[in-house]
Structure formats: structure tokens, C-alpha cells
Structure 1
Amino acid sequence: MPGFDVLTRGDVLHAALKARDYLVSCGVPGSLAAKDPRLWGRRAVDHSRLGWLDLPSASRGLLAQVDGLVADARASGLDHVVLIAVGAEALAAQAIVAARPPGAGGELTVLDGGDTAGLGFTLERLDRTLVVLASKSGVSLEGDAYRRILTAAFRERGLSEKEIAARFLVVTDHGSPLHGFARQCGYRIGLTDPYLPGHFGALSAYGLVPAVLAGADAGTLLDEAAEVVPSLSRTEDNPGLLLGAILGGCAQQGPEGLARDKLLLRERGGPGPLTAWIAQLLAVGTGKRGRGVVTFEPPGVPRAYPDLHAVAINPAGAAGEDDDTSVWGPVGAQFLVWEYATAIAGWLLGVNPFEAGGASAQDAEDQAATMLQATAGGRPVVGRPVAVDGDIEIHTDLAWRGGSDLESVLTALLDRVPGTGYLAVASYLSGEFSGRYLAPSLARGARRPVAYGPGPGYLHATGAVHKDGPGTGAFLVVTGDPPAGDPLGDLAVPGRPYGLATLQFTRGVAEARALRQRGLPVVHLHLRDPVGGAGRLAAAARAAAVALS
């Protein structure tokens, strides 16, 4: 099929063909292409929730407006776009920009509450910076902090309030709380359909506007998506149907009683924004009612597991020997086909794929906001650590045998990972530390796959499947004091009684609490010395793996 191809084999092929035949017999491909909400029950899904199927054509109306914004920005010397967003609203734009040809012009920096490097990069280029604030609802805690910091920085540069307002563009839903706030501030506003699910909005203004401002070609992107549209109503040569049958067919319990509900995503050149976007789409689209597909990257999967299957995205040449499935297609087609496949997988799993994952993401943010308010912006009290190993505080309600050292508690956590489960590492630290450095050792010790990502973005994007999905995850949450020598590590947030480090720490604590409240095993480590502590943690992970091998 021109424009997109899916190849699969082995046991995955058998499960996919069986699921595809069932889907065809139930008339699902035609009904989905016709945007028939009755697929999920008469009252479960509104027709307007399926509007993402029309975006390859409907979003063309945006192009003239965005072209005008680009012309205005370039005429004003603004070629550095800062996107303040968390989760789906940030990942689609990053994937689009990453796929553009070299030399396209313009830069995109995403501020999502993680590393302070992006903020430092932005403050050095403030005279060239246009800020896009994107959210389907209100402003996140991080969004509020960054908006205040950048507003104050513009003011210090001598910009008037009117000039500062002209540096901001808000992308939000019509009638959302952010819509009203943006009008009060005098910001330019781009409005979207409030019924469009955020995780299905890659080809909407959320993905397109910041990417085009940063130099991406939206016309080509929409052409790529439009090319696959005719195939999505067919029962044969339908890449979305086959991919959805693979995802949903594998995630269903097989005859041997094992569901292959874990997915290794392998992207050429290493994990990138497209991989992260697919992960959040599947997490929010399928992570409900005790079901869902959990995604992993290669560092966390050192060997094969019977409940995991691998998908290679745009592999070079033929499908690799280690991959069950390979998909080829440009990024515009990838967006639409993966969205269609997620809808198909949700139907097979008996869940509504268009329900927002906001409740799972919002509970931790609400807890963080409450803690910040209760402590008047000071560092929230998390209770005495159950143990301290050097400069690393250990907070957990797990019981374990052995000493109070870090290796012992990591060994206990790895031992709590179910035989069909996984471990997830969420790191709330600035700097070079990443859970990917721990993943190979932790996976060997647990004999199970390990997922990882920086907070708050990772659990904001994928929290639905961790909290409302199969419930087989164990979690390592890592926070730390700001690193010495980082002037932005605890930068004060104007108009708020806290700085960035306190906000980041509070977010990590709130996520750990939200996971524990769901009865999931959690260990929270706080690194008083983030540089030395990161090295100590990596060594402890290796030692725990050896102890369990």
C-alpha cells in the first residue's frame, strides 16, 4: 500500500489475523471510517469524539492562519519557538519538528517541567523567542511557573505589557479555563475543538501550530496523512486495521492464558519524540478498566519476554530478526495510522479509547498544588525516611529483610515486580541523569522489562495505563536537591512563594503518593547530592541485579 506498510510474523501474525477476521466480521473498519460512535455503545462515545479522522483535510484551514503567524514572527526576528506543554500537546509537535529536513529554519524548545537546560537555552535567546502555551484545559503548575518566569524576563528586557502579550500565543479548547485567562492577558489565541480527544490531536492545532512556527511543513504532513485515509475504510490492505489487530489481538489473553500487553518500540536512531508520542497515545487510549498496553524502549528490555512483542518503526531495509512487527511510513501517516490502530485496539479490549486520561494525570497535580498551598511554597514534609544511605533518603512503605542500605531496598522493590509485571522509573531531576542508565541493571534484576522517563512529563503522558491499566507495575521515583552550580536549579517563580526545585520535588512526591494510593509498590529516593547520588544509585542497581541473578 503506497505511503504506509505493516509487516508482522510468527505468533503475533497468528493473533493479528484472528483479530482482524473478527473485526471484519463485525463491520468495524467501515463503521469506524464512517465515524459511527455506536461501536463503543450508544452512549459511550459521542460522534464528535471521532473528528480526528477528518483532520488530514479539516486542518488545512489552519495553514493560511499559521502562515500569517510565521510571516509576522519572522518579520519580528522571532525564530525560536518555546512550547510550554506537558504530555500529548508537547510530544506531537516535537515529533513533527524532529522529522523535518535539515536546514528548515526555526528552533523548537519544549519546557515541560523537567531539565532546566531548556529554560537556560531560552533565556539566552529571549530576543528571538515566541512562546506557545498549549493545553486543553487550564495551565499546569509548570506552565504557570514558566509563563511567569518568561514574562518577568521579557519585562526586564524593557518590553511593554503590550509587547510581552504579543510574544505569547495560546493554543487551547474553545471555552476552556485557559481560553478565558488568555483573553484577559491579551495573548493571541488559537482555538480547537473541545470534543477532540487530546491524545488524538497530533494533526490539530496542538501539533501543527508550534511545529510550523518552528519551520515544519504542515502541508506535506497533512498530505502524508491524507494518502492513507482511503485505505482506512477497507477490509484488505488497511494498515491501521492490521496494526490495531496486532495491538489489540496480542493484548487479549491468549489460549495459553498470557496476554502480550507489553510493547517494545524500536525507532531507527534510538528512541525519539515519535516513540514517546505513540507511548502516550496507547497509554491513554487503552489504559482503562484493568487493561492496557504498556510501552518500553530498548534499554529497558535486555532480553525477550513471553508477554512482550516488538515493533520497529521505519527500520532500515527489511524487518529485523528481533522484531515481531515493522511499520514504515512518514510522520503524518504514522500519526493517523497509530490513532486508528489505537481505536481498533480499544474496541478489541472493550474500552473507550477516547476518554481523556486527565483524571489519572490530574490527581497527582492536584495533590502537588495542595501540598504547595499547605506549606506556603516551602518544601513539603514527606515524613522521616525509613533509611538513609549516605546522601540518599529512602522513602517507602515496603517491608524488606536485610540492611538499611540502598541495595537492599532496590532488591526488595525488584522482588515485588509481578511475574507478568514491569518496573517504571520516573526521575524528577535536572541534569544528565536519566532512568535509561538504570534500566538495563534493573531489568536484569527483576527479570522483567523496565520503562522510564523524566517527570512530570512521563507519568503525565502515560499515567493512565500505570494507574488504571493492568495494575502490574512497580515504581521507582527519584527526586533530588538542585545541583550545585546550576543558577536555574531553584529559580524563584515570580508571584509564587516557591522556586523550580521545590515545584519539581513536590511533583515527584505527589506522584509517589498517587501511585501508593492505588496499592502499587513504590520506592521514592531523594538524592541530597544529585551528582554523587546518581552514581551511587547506578552502582546499587548493578549490585541488586547481581544479588538477584
Structure 2
Amino acid sequence: MSGFDVLTRGDVLDSALQARDYLVDCGVPGALAAKDPRLWGRRAVDHSRLGWLDLPHASRGLLGQIDGLAREARYSGLDHIVLIGIGAESLAAQAIVEAHAPGGATAGGRAPGGPGPAGAPPGGLTVLDGSDTAALAFALERLDRTLVVLASKAGVSLEGDAYRRIFADAFRRYGMSEREIAGRFLVITDHGSPLHDFARQCGYRIGLTDPYLPGHFGALSAYGLVPALLAGADAERLLDEAAALAPSLAQEEDNPGLLLGAILGGCAQQGPGGVARDKVVLREPGGPGALTSWISQLLAVGTGKRGRGVMVFEPPGVQGEAPDVHGVALNPRAAHDDADTSLWAPLGAQFLLWEYATAVSGWLLGVNPFEAGSTVVQEAEDDAATMLRAAGAGPLPTGEPVAVDGDIEVHTEPLGPGGFAGGAGGLAGALDGLLGSVPADGYLSIVTYLSGDFSGRYLAPALARRAARPVAYGPGPGYPHANGTVHKDGPAGGAFLVITGEPAPGDALAAHPIPGRPYGLAKLQLARALAEVRALRQRGLPVVRLHLRDPVDGVGRLTEAVRGTSGSRRTVR
């Protein structure tokens, strides 16, 4: 596909045309083309924060710089790239490899649209974001052909530290010298960041990026391109696709980015009936993939501020019609019957198109889209780190469940912030109470912190039907890291189901201590969940945490409860 187009209809078209005319009258397309930061106030945005507009051309120099490393890796047989990164730093690379590399991408233990790690191709990209140990086990089986890329704009995350230690120890046990181990790591970070200094001390290869470039606008920077190129993706073709779109973004007419931004921002503002259509359901051919996840975090971070924001949902989480939801179909074969808007563009153009649209929609909503967001995401990670330090080798402060239904612990705070009267009814009562707490214009979010392959996707359709509201879902800590800004600083209409559990039987990696740390991945994952629950409750948002003592039977019982069929089996302590 070489062309690009955006078509919309109905009420969405009316809102979009009004918003587009307003944008043109205010000179937004011209100001963006000139990279004029005064669009967001005299001092709100630095000129360099708009450098993402130049990446389709500026990043070509990066390809030349990394080409030598790519040839060296291939000559050494390093055809398996492990990318350690949470959120924006990993999602773009994963989307590129899904679309453009023969080996595909493995994330959270499963290659989207393909077999699991045991049947995955030997090369390609494995993304480690803290959500599962299956992908880690897959990577550790291929140490002889693995190059590890650690990507972060700032310091290394808790998960990044854990995975780095695990791989360094595994390479050491494999018989490598410290110098050889250092050669197996590539760090991508901002110039002068804490990770930059750390990587230099370790002797790792380092790829430096512009510290002023917003991380969520960095798909066409080193964060997206370098891991994908090393994994075999055609990065030059990707930049060609983006460059073909760039001239149209300087126009007032026939500007697909302006129209898409007008659709998103215009719909997210209150219409004549007082309803803001600030929820978008994205439809990709073949089902949602990394591109949908990347768009979701881009809009979450770019617009989720000051009580405003655009949220993205996937089709399983939207059952029936809702007045505050509109659909966008990505590259459908024809205008999608279930979508208000259809968008056609190759992947490189998609990246630039959505970044431009996010900037425009942020302007319409009155927020600065280039801010990294508030400190809500970092606060939760810092809280998890504090818990782990305080616990040492002992247990984490999980609290007493208000009920135990079979092997499922129910944790609520009926009398505290973020709680409600639902604990006395066991599992069914807690779920009913949580669904009842979803506002008429709100949504439910499911975040799973489990070592197996169970996903909130399996619960979303039934919960969406019961709540008659959209349901978002994703694995922790990656999902709240990427989308936490809109949940906590956005419209504040969410209710949250957080699912934790004991490690799956036979999952030795989950319980095995991380080298140099008094905890394993399972404990780290639980700490992340507890910190996220606390952060949500501190903001007065309703939360239920369910802990599966038996992850196999617990998943079945929970699925039945969500469908409303587990009442006869319920035993409440």
C-alpha cells in the first residue's frame, strides 16, 4: 500500500468538519508545518519538542549508523533480538517487526496471530515488558543467537533491571567473559540520561537519542527503528512511507492528519447533546496488534491530562452501541460497516499520521500533547520499589481479603477511597459492585498481572455486556505504564479490575530469585500490582483486586463468575 486516505461519515463527519474549519481559521496547519511552539502558549512547548515532524528524513542518517552493527550481528549469528522496554519504547518496534520482518514479534510469550514461543521462528524480536515469563523462557533458550536491546528514555525500570541481571547471569553461565557479555547488550537512551551513564560504566554499546524528543512521539526514532532493523525489518521502506505523507501535512486541504486530528479532538469535545465521544474503538484487519497498542498509548499520554483525554478500546471490549464511542477501522478492504471512520495508510505513514493527529487533537482539547504526562506512572513504580525494599526476603503487604471464593481472594476497601459496598457478597458481589460503580459515561479496565497467558480479553465481552459500557484491558505493568496517564489524569470515569495470581505450575522463572535481588519476577509483578491498586485508590477510583491462589482453577472460576454462572459453586469465608 502506498496511498493514504481518511474517510468519515455521519455525526462524526459533522463534528470533524467544524473542528477542521476551526483549525484552519486558527492557522494550526501552517504553524505546525513551521514547527511553531506558540500554538500551545508562549513558553509551554519548546521548538525542539516538534522534531518528530522531521524524523522521516532525519532518521535516514541513523540507518547508516546502525547498518554496521546489523551486519556484525548477522555475521555473528545474532538473529534473535530481545527488546527490554515498557510502553512507548517497545510498542513501535514491535509493530514494525509484526508488519515488516519475516521472523515476526513475540511479546508476553505469544507471537500475535501466530504460534507461541515453542513454535515461533528462531529469529525475529522478543519483547520483554514484565507481563509474562514465557517470552523470557523463549529467549533464554536462544542465548547463542541473542542480542539484548535495553531501551528507555530515562533510567532503567524495575523490570529492565531484573531482565538485564537475568541475561547477564545467563550469559555468564553460558561461559562468556565480561567483555563478551557487554558486547551482547545495546542500550538506546537519551543523551545524558541516568541509563546513559550506567551503560557507559558497564561497557555496553550505546545508541543516543534526542532528549527533547517526546518518547510517545518517537516511533520513527531509534526507539522504534533500531530494534526493528536488527530484527530484519525494512526500516528504509518505513521511512519512505512516512516521507510520502509528510508534504500533505503542511497543507490546509487534503491533509489526512488534520482531518484525523479534527475527528479525534472534535468528537472528544461535548456535542450539542452534552455528550463527548472521547472513546475510540480501533479495528485492525486480523484483530488488534501492536499498532493498536501503540496508538492507544500515544493518545493516552498525548491527550490524557487535566480531566480530558481520548481513550482507545479494542473490539472485544465494546459490545453494542454507545453514544460516547466511535469506531476507526485501520486499512479495511472497504469502508468499514461498523466504523464511523476508515483510514488507509502503510505503517510508516500511520506512525506520522497518528502523531500529527494527536498533536492536533491535543490542541483542540487545550492540553500540551508533548508533555510526558504527570508523575503518576513513575509514582507507582517508585512505590513498588519501596515495597520491595521494605519486604526484603519476606512477603509483601498484600492485606487480608474481604472474602475467599474457592481459591480466589477478593480484595476491596468498602470504607476507604476507591472502595464500595461489595466485599460481603464474595466474588459475585464484588464484581456486581464494581460494575455498578462504572459511571454512565465511564468504562471498566482489566489489568492482569499473571505469569500465564490468561488475558483480560477473555473477560471483556461478558463484562462489557453486563456493564453496558466499554471495557479496556491489558497486561501489567506494560498496560498501566503506557496508558496510566489517561486513566489517572484524564476524564476519571474508570473502574478497575486488577487480577493477580500465584505462578503457574512449573514456572520456575517466576519464583527464581533475580541475581543480586532478594525477590523473583513473581514478587516483582505482585509489587507492581499492589502499587497500581494503591495509586488508583488514592485518586478515589473504584478498584477490586482478585488474587488467584490456583491460577489454573482460578481462571476457570473467574470466567464463570463473569458470565454469571458461578453462584452455585460459591463459598464465602
Say which SS state the counterpart of residue 45 (structure 1) adopts.
coil
What value does the CA root-mean-square deviation take over the aligned residues? 1.6
Partner amino acid, structure 2, of 1:91: L
Partner amino acid, structure 2, of 1:395: H
State the TM-score, normalized to the length of structure 1: 0.97
Residue 525 (structure 1) aligns with: 546
CA distance in 1, matches of 2:23, 2:304: 21
Residue 384 (structure 2) aligns with: 368
CA distance in 1, matches of 2:171, 2:103: 28
Residue 369 (structure 2) aligns with: 353
Q: Give CA-to-partner distance per residue, 1:245-286, whole Å, 9 cap, x none.
A: 000000001011000000001100000000000000000000
CA distance in 2, matches of 1:156, 1:102: 31
Are the counterparts in 2 of residues 132 and 171 from structure 1 also a CA contact under 8 Å?
Answer: yes
Q: Give CA-to-partner distance per residue, 1:3-49, whole Å, 9 cap, x none.
A: 21100000000000000000000000010111000000001100010
Q: Note closer, same or farther for the CA distance 1:402–1:130 as it changes in structure 2 (3 Å cut).
A: closer
Match of 1:334 among 327, 350, 353: 350
Match of 2:317 among 286, 300, 321: 300
Q: Give CA-to-partner distance per residue, 1:297-331, whole Å, 9 cap, x none.
A: 01100111110000000112x11111000111110
Are the counterparts in 2 of residues 247 and 345 from structure 1 also a CA contact under 8 Å?
Answer: yes
CA distance in 1, matches of 2:393, 2:301: 31
Q: Note closer, same or farther for the CA distance 1:534–1:235 as it changes in structure 2 (3 Å cut).
A: same
* Residue correspondences, number: 546
Residue 481 (structure 1) aligns with: 502
Would you say 1:391 and 2:407 are equivalent positions? yes
Would you say 1:35 and 2:35 are equivalent positions? yes
Q: Note closer, same or farther for the CA distance 1:546–1:498 as it changes in structure 2 (3 Å cut).
A: closer
Q: Give CA-to-partner distance per residue, 1:230-254, whole Å, 9 cap, x none.
A: 1001111000000000000000010
CA distance in 2, matches of 1:333, 1:108: 22
Correspondence list, 1:65-84, <5 A: 65-84=65-84
Residue 88 (structure 1) aligns with: 88
* Higher alpha-carbon deviation: 538-547 or 218-227: 538-547
Match of 1:509 among 517, 530, 542: 530
CA distance in 1, matches of 2:223, 2:211: 12
Residue 471 (structure 1) aligns with: 492
Q: Give CA-to-partner distance per residue, 1:133-180, whole Å, 9 cap, x none.
A: 000000000000000000000000110000000000000000000000
Residue 324 (structure 1) aligns with: 340
Q: Note closer, same or farther for the CA distance 1:546–1:382 as it changes in structure 2 (3 Å cut).
A: closer
Would you say 1:280 and 2:297 are equivalent positions? yes
CA distance in 2, matches of 1:402, 1:460: 28
Q: Give CA-to-partner distance per residue, 1:172-205, whole Å, 9 cap, x none.
A: 0000000000000000000000000000000000
Q: Give CA-to-partner distance per residue, 1:340-386, whole Å, 9 cap, x none.
A: 00000000000000000361211110110000011114331121111
Say which SS state the counterpart of residue 292 (structure 1) adopts.
coil
CA distance in 2, matches of 1:61, 1:145: 33
Are the counterparts in 1 of residues 2 and 345 from structure 2 also a CA contact under 8 Å?
Answer: no
CA distance in 2, matches of 1:12, 1:227: 27
Say which SS state the counterpart of residue 425 (structure 2) adopts.
coil
State the TM-score, normalized to the length of structure 2: 0.93
Match of 2:465 among 424, 431, 444: 444
Are the counterparts in 1 of residues 103 and 124 from structure 2 also a CA contact under 8 Å?
Answer: no
Residue 226 (structure 1) aligns with: 243
Are the counterparts in 1 of residues 101 and 124 from structure 2 also a CA contact under 8 Å?
Answer: no
Partner amino acid, structure 2, of 1:31: A
Match of 1:123 among 137, 140, 146: 140
Would you say 1:49 and 2:49 are equivalent positions? yes
Are the counterparts in 2 of residues 410 and 544 from structure 1 also a CA contact under 8 Å?
Answer: no
Residue 455 (structure 1) aligns with: 476
Cα deviation for residue 489 of structure 1 reads 2.1
Say which SS state the counterpart of residue 543 (structure 1) adopts.
coil
CA distance in 2, matches of 1:289, 1:358: 10
CA distance in 2, matches of 1:47, 1:530: 50
Residue 491 (structure 1) aligns with: 512
Are the counterparts in 1 of residues 500 and 547 from structure 2 also a CA contact under 8 Å?
Answer: yes
Correspondence list, 1:371-382, <5 A: 371-382=387-398
CA distance in 2, matches of 1:328, 1:240: 12
CA distance in 2, matches of 1:91, 1:546: 40
Are the counterparts in 1 of residues 134 and 452 from structure 2 also a CA contact under 8 Å?
Answer: yes
Are the counterparts in 2 of residues 248 and 346 from structure 1 also a CA contact under 8 Å?
Answer: yes
Cα deviation for residue 103 of structure 1 reads 6.5
CA distance in 1, matches of 2:244, 2:61: 18
Are the counterparts in 2 of residues 445 and 546 from structure 1 also a CA contact under 8 Å?
Answer: no
Partner amino acid, structure 1, of 2:340: D
CA distance in 2, matches of 1:31, 1:389: 59
Are the counterparts in 1 of residues 2 and 241 from structure 2 also a CA contact under 8 Å?
Answer: no
Partner amino acid, structure 2, of 1:333: A
Partner amino acid, structure 2, of 1:230: P
Cα deviation for residue 101 of structure 1 reads 5.4
Cα deviation for residue 106 of structure 1 reads 3.8
Q: Note closer, same or farther for the CA distance 1:385–1:7 as it changes in structure 2 (3 Å cut).
A: same
CA distance in 2, matches of 1:545, 1:531: 16
Q: Note closer, same or farther for the CA distance 1:101–1:108 as it changes in structure 2 (3 Å cut).
A: closer
Cα deviation for residue 75 of structure 1 reads 1.2
CA distance in 2, matches of 1:200, 1:525: 35
- Gaps spanning 5+ residues in structure 1: where? none
* Higher alpha-carbon deviation: 371-380 or 434-443: 371-380
Are the counterparts in 2 of residues 407 and 544 from structure 1 also a CA contact under 8 Å?
Answer: no
Residue 63 (structure 1) aligns with: 63
Are the counterparts in 1 of residues 6 and 259 from structure 2 also a CA contact under 8 Å?
Answer: yes
CA distance in 1, matches of 2:370, 2:102: 35
Identity of aligned residues (%): 73
Are the counterparts in 1 of residues 209 and 222 from structure 2 also a CA contact under 8 Å?
Answer: yes
* Higher alpha-carbon deviation: 489-498 or 273-282: 489-498
CA distance in 2, matches of 1:224, 1:135: 26
Are the counterparts in 1 of residues 447 and 473 from structure 2 also a CA contact under 8 Å?
Answer: yes
Match of 1:143 among 160, 164, 181: 160
Are the counterparts in 2 of residues 477 and 512 from structure 1 also a CA contact under 8 Å?
Answer: yes
Partner amino acid, structure 2, of 1:232: L
Match of 1:208 among 219, 225, 249: 225
Q: Note closer, same or farther for the CA distance 1:122–1:401 as it changes in structure 2 (3 Å cut).
A: closer
CA distance in 2, matches of 1:476, 1:492: 28
Are the counterparts in 2 of residues 443 and 450 from structure 1 also a CA contact under 8 Å?
Answer: yes
Partner amino acid, structure 2, of 1:265: L
Cα deviation for residue 400 of structure 1 reads 2.5
